[in-house]
Structures are given as structure tokens and as C-alpha cells.
């Protein structure tokens, strides 16, 4: 287990947390003084690829915000198979729900790539919530967004075919940098392995690869390693089994 209190990154000077958190919706609108209070005991650490941040069953003593990298939240099924519950991207919080419930972690957290994480002890968060009730509304909003995404994932697993699940994932992966050009083409890059994506989509890696080949044969995508080119995003959006 990676304990933030014990393995925080050694630094000669304290980082500018106001600047680091400027792009985080949770902390937007806070003054420098308020940020200083809430980050007084924050721990900054950089887990390397494959490193465990916490294990299922560990005590949840705070929340995390991912500044860069990728973190997977997963558990092991009764059959011994890994199931990826969520992939955390930069800017996302994780662990906040269990922090409020004061319950142990229900998943294990592992860095998929070298990452940069801030850890906030719950005492710092709770103290600021008493001073700034609007902070609670922001946290509720963030939790609501994630809850709706989880509900959407459950709906996909229950109602949609494997092919529709993969198409939905590809469409969600289109970032601002890969927005379609005038001819409706775009290129996306898998930031994680196909095995992780397949687990997140509740299918085997073989099934995931087979679906990618089927979409290629239909002319809907072109696969080059982790790079996926979508010749016409409209056709992919309109595809029906």
C-alpha cells in the first residue's frame, strides 16, 4: 500500500497549490487563504506505473485528486478475475464518497502509468466544509456526475451488445484535441491497454479485439496499435446491430 503520509515526494520548497488546483472545479472560487488552509496537510506523491495506492479493505482517511497520469480502481471477482470498476483521469477526485461514509475502500487503486496525485486528509476537508458550505455543493455535483456515469455504464452492460459498448467507449474517448475535422474524421489514442479497456467494458480481451476487427471490416474504424482512426464519426454514431 502506498501511504501518502510515509511516501510523499521530497521537495525543497512547497509547491504552489493555488496554481495546481486552479483548474479543479472543486476549488474554483476559493481565495489563496482558503486554499492554503485546505492544503496545509496535503500530501503530494507520484506513484510509478503498477504501484498500488491503496488496497480493498484499507481504511479511507481522506480523498485524492489526480493531477496527471491514469489510475484504475478495480476488484477481484470470486473467480479470481480482475474487474476494472473505473479509470480515473486527470482532474478527477476519488475516495471522497468513502471518506464521508467513513468506510474502508471497496476497490484497489493502482497507477496505470507514472502519475501525480494529491492526497487530502479528511480533517482538512471537513474543517473547510464547515467554513464554506458551497464546497459541499461542489463535491455533491462531482459525485453526481460520477454516479450518472456509473449508471450509464451499468445500462450499457445490461442492455447493449458488446459492439455498442465498444462504440460508446470510442465515442467517449474523443477529446478536444481529436475532434472531427471537416470531413468528420478523427483519431483517438488508447491511453491504457486493451486488457484494461476490455475489463472496464465487462468483456474479455479476446472479445474486445474481435469487435475491433468487426468494426474494421465494416469500415467504421482503422486500428494501428493503440491508435484508432474513425474515418466518419457520423457512421459510427449511427451504427445499429
Confidence bin at 157 (pLDDT 50/70/90) = low
Better-scored residue on pLDDT, 11 or 35? 35
Percent of the chain with pLDDT over 70: 84
Give the pLDDT mean for 150-160.
67
Q: What number is the average pLDDT over the span 75-88? A: 90
Phi, then psi, of 204 in degrees rounded to 5? -80, 160
From the list 36, 49, 60, 205, the residue with the least C-alpha distance to 119 is 60
Tell me the pLDDT band of 211, cut-offs 50, 70 and 90: very high
Confidence tier at 105 by pLDDT (50, 70, 90):
very high
| CB neighbour list of residue 179: distance below 8 Å, 6 or more residues apart | 186
Count Cα atoms within 13 angstroms, Cβ side, for 171: 16
What is the rounded CA–CA span in Å between residue 74 and residue 108?
Answer: 5
pLDDT value, residue 200: 87
Average pLDDT over residues 147-153: 71
Q: Lowest-pLDDT range, 49-63, 147-161, 204-218? A: 147-161
First and final C-alpha spacing in the chain = 44
Phi, psi of 52 (to 5 degrees): -85, 130
CATH class of 15-158: mainly beta
Report the C-alpha gap between 128 and 87 in whole angstroms.
Answer: 28
Q: Please give the helix or strand (H or E) that residue 54 lies within, else none.
A: strand 52-54
User: Is domain 161-238 annotated with CATH 1.10.357.10?
Assistant: no
- Could you tell me where the DSSP H helices lie in 89-174? 96-101, 122-131, 133-159, 162-172
Residue 220 and residue 167: Cα distance in Å, rounded? 10
Does residue 44 register a pLDDT over 80?
yes
Q: What is the biggest distance separating any 2 CA atoms in the chain, rounded to whole angstroms? A: 58
Q: Label residue 184 left, alpha or beta by phi (over 0 means left) and psi (-120 to 50 means alpha).
A: left
Cβ atoms within 10 Å, residue 15 = 13
The pLDDT score that the predictor gives to residue 159 is 58
- Give the span between the Cα atoms of 200 and 204, in whole angstroms: 10
Residue 4 pLDDT level (bands cut at 50, 70, 90): very low
Q: Model-level pTM?
A: 0.75
Q: DSSP assignment, residue 212? A: H
CA distance 135 to 27: 8
Q: What is the pLDDT of residue 182?
A: 65
Q: What is the pLDDT of residues 112-125, one digit of tens each?
A: 999 999 999 998 88
Q: Hey, where are the domains in the chain?
A: 15-158, 161-238
In the predicted structure, residue 178 carries a pLDDT above the cut 60: no
Mean pLDDT of 125-152: 77
Contact (CB, 8 A) for 70 and 191 = yes
Most confident of 12-21, 123-132, 187-196: 187-196
**Long-range CB contacts for residues 192-195, cutoff 8 Å, separation at least 24:** 192/70, 192/72, 192/87, 192/112
Mean pLDDT, the chain, as a whole number?
83
Question: Residue 5 pLDDT more than 70?
Answer: no
Amino acid at each position: 500500500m502506498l501511504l501518502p503520509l510515509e511516501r510523499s515526494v521530497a521537495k525543497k520548497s512547497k509547491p504552489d497549490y493555488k496554481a495546481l488546483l486552479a483548474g479543479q472545479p472543486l476549488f474554483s472560487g476559493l481565495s489563496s487563504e482558503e486554499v492554503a488552509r485546505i492544503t496545509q496537510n496535503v500530501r503530494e506523491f507520484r506513484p510509478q506505473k503498477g504501484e498500488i495506492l491503496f488496497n480493498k479493505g484499507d481504511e479511507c482517511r481522506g480523498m485524492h485528486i489526480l493531477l496527471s497520469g491514469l489510475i484504475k480502481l478495480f476488484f477481484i471477482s470470486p473467480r479470481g478475475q480482475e474487474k476494472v470498476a473505473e479509470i480515473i483521469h486527470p482532474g478527477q477526485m476519488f475516495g471522497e464518497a468513502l471518506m464521508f461514509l467513513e468506510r474502508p475502500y471497496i476497490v484497489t487503486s493502482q497507477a496505470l502509468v507514472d502519475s501525480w496525485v494529491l492526497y487530502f486528509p479528511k480533517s482538512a476537508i471537513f474543517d473547510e466544509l464547515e467554513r464554506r458550505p458551497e464546497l459541499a455543493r461542489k463535491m455533491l455535483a462531482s459525485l453526481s456526475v460520477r454516479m450518472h456515469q456509473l449508471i450509464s455504464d451499468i445500462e450499457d452492460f445490461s442492455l447493449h451488445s458488446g459492439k455498442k459498448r465498444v462504440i460508446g467507449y470510442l465515442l467517449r474517448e474523443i477529446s478536444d484535441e481529436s475532434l472531427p475535422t471537416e470531413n468528420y474524421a478523427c483519431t483517438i489514442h488508447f491511453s491504457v491497454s486493451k486488457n484494461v479497456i476490455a475489463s472496464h467494458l465487462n468483456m474479455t480481451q479476446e472479445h474486445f479485439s474481435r469487435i475491433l476487427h468487426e468494426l474494421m471490416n465494416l469500415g467504421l474504424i482503422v486500428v494501428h496499435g493503440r491508435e484508432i482512426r474513425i474515418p466518419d464519426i457520423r457512421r459510427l454514431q449511427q451504427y445499429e446491430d
